[in-house]
Copies of this chain bind each other. A is one copy, B any other.
């Protein structure tokens, strides 16, 4: 399907509005950011803003969606090493992506689970569960609780890693998540 060419003015407008919101979010919560302030920073007319977005929350949602798409592409274009767990490689890629894009990730991973990473980690954890919980018949609700625990926990861990300067190697972090998901504290005893 032929990709429709987007007018260069539209590309610029969206790029500069997104960049402006990201920069404002570094210092303020979304609730304190006005459309007026975004447009002033971007040097874009307010009517132009309304031509593309409903409000600042819509703009933020579209930034997140763009990130989601970018992460999906990033993880899809990937060749696994045969001699390693696929999960640990995928988690490693996620941490690598976050490290490469730490500025925008710091802003977007704000006490929220509706991010691209949460969904990707959900998929990984679900796969692990399916691999390990096949011998017993479990209540689907319990499985969902387990998945929620591991996926949300991973986001909390990722948040912490971001907030404390990302000192540890990405592969180490991927291993920690896998260990905690599979064996909890006993993996570290």
Contact = CB atoms under 8 A, between A and B. Distances in A.
Nearest to A112: B111
Interface in A152-187: 152-157, 159-161, 164, 167-168, 173, 176-177, 179-187
A54 to B, nearest CB: 12
Q: Is the interface of A mostly helix, strand, loop or mixed?
A: helix
A149 B145 contact: no
A76 interface: no
A144 interface: yes
Interface of A: 30-31, 57, 111-114, 128-129, 132-133, 135-136, 138, 141-142, 144-146, 148-157, 159-161, 164, 167-168, 173, 176-177, 179-189
Copies of the protein in its oligomer? 2
Given A31-B31, A184-B182, A145 B132 contact: no
A128 to B, nearest CB: 7
Counting chain B CB atoms within 10 Å of each CB, the highest count among A136, A145, A151, A168 belongs to A145
A37 to B, nearest CB: 15
A169 to B, nearest CB: 12
A184 B189 CA distance: 13
Given A146-B188, A151-B156, 17 more contacts: A30-B31, A111-B112, A111-B114, A113-B156, A128-B185, A132-B185, A135-B189, A138-B188, A142-B168, A144-B160, A144-B164, A146-B185, A149-B157, A150-B153, A152-B153, A153-B154, A181-B184
A122 B167 CA distance: 23
